[in-house]
Amino acid sequence: MSKMDIVGALAEELWAMKLGLKLLGERAKIGSFWWPYISNLPETYGVPIFFPGEDIKNLQYAPLLYQVNKRCRFLLDFEKEVKNAISDFNMMDHPFGGQDINASSLGWAMSAVSSRAFRLYGKKSLTGAYSDVPMMLPLIDMCNHSFDPNARIVQEQGEEQPEMLVKVVAEKEIGANDPLLLNYGCLSNDLFLLDYGFVIPSNRYDTIELKYDGALLDAASLAAGVSSPNFSSPAPWQQEILSQLNLYGDTADLKVTLGGPDLVEGRLLAALRVLLESENESVQKHDLSTLKSISAEAPCGIATEVAAFRTIIALCVIALEHFPTKIMEDESMLKKGVPDTTKLAITFRIQKKSLIVDVMRDLSRRIKSLLSKETVSAKG
């Protein structure tokens, strides 16, 4: 994870807990204006931080396990900070009405916020930009998610409307018994599960995370029958381009992804195109945006493109082998009937494996198309 990712993740946790502490304070307050809303919030949330230990293992996906463990550690550390901060308060001034604040209650608050809060526009800065402000919106937060929503949130505030007004506006005709659907965001299943406690089947924004590593690429190229001495020991001119892609050097971000709208993260595709080329000139005539684009028509030639795709397919095979179970085994487990958290964990890992298989199929089709073009060109 890069430094920017770490800072961003920490900021997300802090704003969630700031709003979460406010929620806990209102929950403890006798006669709170918000009590009718708070009393209808779920008593428990089906997010991974509350999974039994065995079901956390059942996720089988290291990047998500890392995030779950990080959130749990954050809650334990934050519990100590909160208890230390309120230790000297007497009962009359206690911000939580004397109630014990522990990792469990903090986890409940963070889950309530992460699953229900919306980011809206806050105050306007001197530069004219608006700050993001997380808000919990009673009733509106009952709308479910869809990538094809039938409604959207509108925020109004101005000279004629000095107080902020937040409302849900229909995007299309909605039937009397149809649910209101909002788009929570173009998120991966990791984030949907971590923050909302559900998984989207065939999520077109889902990705699989890999580590860019020379030794891993060597193993993949060997499995793919692709010969290149440059994966572990790139030439100086290749190192320079890899540095521009932030895949080489002390501060490199080595996290790359497969899947999502781009199919293959551009940095990984560009790196393979560069490393599989022995001639500097054939690469230098293209800019980075072209080298990173999968829609670019084999910029370094068909042979290099086929070798790059075959290497990525081999990376997919290696990624699948890291899962202890196969898709058929997972589906068989679901048919037997399992607890909800187990079902969610198994569904999540099925979607990850299915995503990898889909990437392999797509790249295989692209290889077939490239080879047919090469054959036609040779005949011509």
Q: What is the pLDDT of residues 83-93, one digit of tens each?
A: 988 888 887 78
The residue count of the chain comes to: 380
63 pLDDT band, cuts 50/70/90, is: very high
Residues 265-308 have pLDDT tens digits of: 999 999 999 999 888 888 888 999 999 999 988 999 999 999 99
- Cβ atoms of 114 and 187 within 8 Å: the answer is no
pLDDT score of 5: 43
Q: What are phi and psi of 35, to 5 degrees?
A: -60, -40
Averaged pLDDT score across all residues of the chain: 88
Percentage of the chain lying above the pLDDT 70 cut: 89
148 pLDDT band, cuts 50/70/90, is: very high
Q: How far is CA 28 from the centre of its chain?
A: 33
CA 12 – CA 60 distance, rounded (Å):
25
Per-residue CA distances from 336 to 70, 168, 342 (Å): 32, 41, 12
For the ranges 25-39, 57-71, 217-231, 290-304, the lowest mean pLDDT is seen at 217-231
- The strand pairing partners of 210, in sequence order, are 256
Give me the torsion for CA of 254, 258, 13, 41, rounded to 10°. -170
252 pLDDT band, cuts 50/70/90, is: very high
Helix and strand numbers, DSSP H then E, in the chain: 14, 8
Q: β-strand 181-182 against 144-145: which pairing, if any?
A: parallel
pLDDT score of 374: 66
Residues 216-246 have pLDDT tens digits of: 998 898 888 887 667 888 999 999 999 999 9
Count CB neighbours of 294 within 10 A. 16
Q: What is the pTM of this model?
A: 0.87
119 has a pLDDT exceeding 70: yes
147 pLDDT band, cuts 50/70/90, is: very high
pLDDT score of 226: 85
Highest mean pLDDT among 79-83, 223-227, 321-325: 321-325
Which residue spans within 35-171 are E strands per DSSP? 117-124, 130-136, 144-145, 151-156, 165-170
Residues 6+ apart with CB under 8 A from 180: 142, 143, 144, 150, 151, 168, 174
Q: Give, for 209, the enclosing helix (H) or strand (E).
A: strand 207-211
Percentage of the chain lying above the pLDDT 90 cut: 66
For the ranges 132-136, 138-142, 226-230, 231-235, the lowest mean pLDDT is seen at 226-230
CA atoms in the 13 A half-sphere facing the CB of 34: 14
Q: What is the mean pLDDT of residues 149-158?
A: 85
pLDDT score of 155: 84
CA 63 – CA 61 distance, rounded (Å):
6
Q: Which fold has domain 3-196?
A: set domain protein methyltransferase, domain 1 (3.90.1410)
**Taking the domains of the chain in order of start, what are their residue ranges?**
3-196, 207-379
136 has a pLDDT exceeding 50: yes
pLDDT score of 358: 97
Burial class (CB in 10 A: 0-12, 13-18, 19+), 354: middle
Closest CA to 268 of 252, 255, 286, 287: 255
206 has a pLDDT exceeding 70: yes
| Domain 207-379 -> CATH class | alpha beta
Q: What are phi and psi of 120, to 5 degrees?
A: -120, 170
- Cβ atoms of 317 and 223 within 8 Å: the answer is yes
123 pLDDT band, cuts 50/70/90, is: low
